[in-house]
Amino acid sequence: MKIDHLINGRTIAGTDYFETINPATQDVLAQVASGDQTQVNAAVQAAKDAFPAWARLPATERAKLMRKLGDLITKYVPEIAQTETNDTGQTINQTGKQLVPRSADNFYYFAEMCTRVDGHTYPTPTHLNYTLFHPVGVCALISPWNVPFMTSTWKIAPCLAFGNTAVLKMSELSPLTASRLGELALEAGIPAGVLNIVHGYGKEAGEPLCSHPDVRAVSFTGSTATGNRIVQASGLKKFSMELGGKSPFVIFDDADLDRALDAAVFMIFSNNGERCTAGSRILVQQNIYADFVEKFVARAKRITVGDPLDENIIVGPMISPGHLNKVRSYIELGQKEGATLLCGGLDTPEVSDRVKKGNFVLPTVFADVDNRMKIAQDEIFGPVASLIPFKDEADAIRIANDIAYGLSSYVWTENIGKAHRVAAAIEAGMCFVNSQNVRDLRQPFGGSKASGVGREGGTWSYEVFLEPKNIAVSM
Ligand code: NAD
């Protein structure tokens, strides 16, 4: 199979191609066009040409097209989910039941939302000020390889619904489902040039796209290192930077322990641990620490690893051999740093014949982790949990904040005052109290510190995809 660029409604062959590989089997899934400055220029030009008519279209008309695209995604959930699972190793349970259906919801939600964009008035005795919100123009949308379909639709839906046009670049490791989305967008009736897709590597395709002078906004999801590079290379633009995380999952001694255990296991091992909001630092109050560790490890040992197309599997393969090596190197490092390895480790998991060559790693639990260890400070982005004891509320807050990142956080306690105090004190864009990560499309999603700049979701998406203009009329 060949996957080509989508520029101005037409598939454009690459001058060069790279392979996308199934991480469970190592089979080549497709030859993918490898874009560079030439295809980026053509795609940005197509988006620029399509912009005036698309921006002028009444929001109600754009909304109809967004809903149609949502319907097409809903119609093809099984097909898209299977492709996503083959391309990423995310389990079919996740892609088929959650990630792909939720992607359709992004279009339904922003279809509604774009018809409600209103302005503000600031009357004074001498002037009437009012604000208009204009679409910004051509936007660069850059997606990582984890949950790529969901992430890309999370960007495309508000971008297009608000009247912008887009050039999307998916990760070179997981380009397949977005390519299908490009076809569905045309089938839904979204005009040529409104959504363009250039495939390729970060340096060759991503950087020319972000730094293109006709690109007005960059919505990027990926690592902190790449986010930094993009901001430096792109010049003055609107930025939304959704970057890495190392989120604290804080459990006090008065928490509902069974629920906290289930959520802690879910937040580090679901999505193969390849999740930006993973609760990868599990902070447990000292007097319940031993009990928690024993129960957590018992649950971790029950987690099934293997074929991501098998509905009984919880952890599939890592996205690539390179990423597997990175995760394994941290498991090795954790032992050298003096953390106690309680389960998992470097043994190869037993898996079925079909996926014998997959990039598998065992769900791994380290106890007695010191927060200054590298396994506690670096984003491992795999199924590796660090259990860290703490003394009291102040100690929990100190450890939670002793980190470069600030994406998500989790607090478990039955004491309502403590819950609010700790939630307010943790330096992060999001905090979930007595809950795993649950995303409402209206909430501001994003992080602080090294986890990013800007928020997306609901009216927060105005920040990146709409330009406010104040008009002051003298009276
Ligand atoms: P990455 O930074 O390596 O790549 C992300 C994307 O950027 C890819 O499409 C890549 O090709 C592109 N890219 C690379 N170099 C570029 C450059 N110089 N200019 C423009 N584009 C470039 O990240 P990844 O390994 O694909 O994804 C994992 C990371 O993403 C983790 O750090 C994870 O936490 C983060 N992430 C964050 C969120 C969030 O919402 N905060 C969500 C998902 C993933």
CA distance 4 to 400: 45
Q: Which two structure tokens, joined as six digits, stand for 122?
A: 């600031």
Number of the ligand 1 atom closest to the C-alpha atom of 229: 18
Contact 382 CB / ligand 1 (< 6 Å): no
pLDDT band at residue 98 using 50, 70 and 90 as cut-offs: very high
What residue spans define the domains of the chain? 2-243+451-471, 248-433
Task: Please name the amino acid found at residue 342.
Answer: L
285-304 burial: b if 16+ Cβ within 10 Å, else e: beebbeebbebbbebbeebe
CA distance 362 to 350: 9
Nearest to 92 by CA among 267, 264, 272: 272
pLDDT band at residue 230 using 50, 70 and 90 as cut-offs: very high
Q: Which fold has domain 2-243+451-471?
A: Aldehyde Dehydrogenase; Chain A, domain 1 (3.40.605)
Residue 350 bears catalytic tag:
no
If DSSP states are collapsed to H, E and C, what string results for 272-286? HHCCCCCCCEEEEEH
Contact 221 CB / ligand 1 (< 6 Å): yes
pLDDT band at residue 267 using 50, 70 and 90 as cut-offs: very high
Nearest to 158 by CA among 183, 179, 135: 135
First to last CA, the chain: 65
Contact 143 CB / ligand 1 (< 6 Å): yes
Distance 291 CA to ligand 1 centre (A): 37
Which CATH superfamily does the domain covering 248-433 fall into? Aldehyde Dehydrogenase; Chain A, domain 2 (3.40.309.10)
User: pLDDT tens digits, residue range 33-67?
Assistant: 999 999 999 999 999 999 999 999 999 999 999 99
pLDDT band at residue 108 using 50, 70 and 90 as cut-offs: very high
Give the per-residue pLDDT at 286: 98
User: pLDDT tens digits, residue range 298-351?
Assistant: 999 999 999 999 999 999 999 999 999 999 999 999 999 999 999 999 999 999
Distance 407 CA to ligand 1 centre (A): 15
Beta strands in 188-264 (DSSP E): 195-197, 215-221, 238-242, 248-251
Task: Give mean pLDDT, residues 198-203.
Answer: 98
Whole-number average pLDDT of the chain: 97
Q: Which two structure tokens, joined as six digits, stand for 140?
A: 């660069």
CA distance 320 to 231: 27
DSSP string, 187-200: HTTPPTTSEEE---
Distance 143 CA to ligand 1 centre (A): 6
Number of the ligand 1 atom closest to the C-alpha atom of 319: 25
- Spatial neighbors of 15 by CB under 8 A, at least 6 apart, are 34, 36, 38
Task: Give mean pLDDT, residues 422-448.
Answer: 97
User: What ipTM does the predicted assembly reach?
Assistant: 0.98
Beta carbons of 390 and 410 less than 8 angstroms apart = no
Give the per-residue pLDDT at 12: 97
Integer Rg of the chain from CA = 23
CA distance 40 to 353: 42
Distance 222 CA to ligand 1 centre (A): 2
Check: pTM over 0.80? Answer yes or no: yes
Distance 305 CA to ligand 1 centre (A): 25
Beta carbons of 448 and 428 less than 8 angstroms apart = yes
For residue 395, CA distances in Å to 15, 84, 197, 349, 421 come to 57, 41, 48, 37, 13
Give the per-residue pLDDT at 349: 97
User: pLDDT tens digits, residue range 341-383?
Assistant: 999 999 999 999 999 999 999 999 999 999 999 999 999 999 9
Which one of 84, 204, 242, 427 is the catalytic residue? 242
User: pLDDT tens digits, residue range 135-157?
Assistant: 999 999 999 999 999 999 999 99
Beta carbons of 296 and 387 less than 8 angstroms apart = yes
- Spatial neighbors of 440 by CB under 8 A, at least 6 apart, are 457
Contact 163 CB / ligand 1 (< 6 Å): no
The helix (run of H) or strand (run of E) holding residue 355 is none
- Out of 276, 380, 403, 405, give the residue to mutate to test ligand 1, the one with the largest number of ligand atoms within 8 Å of its CB: 276
For residue 456, the 8-state DSSP code is B
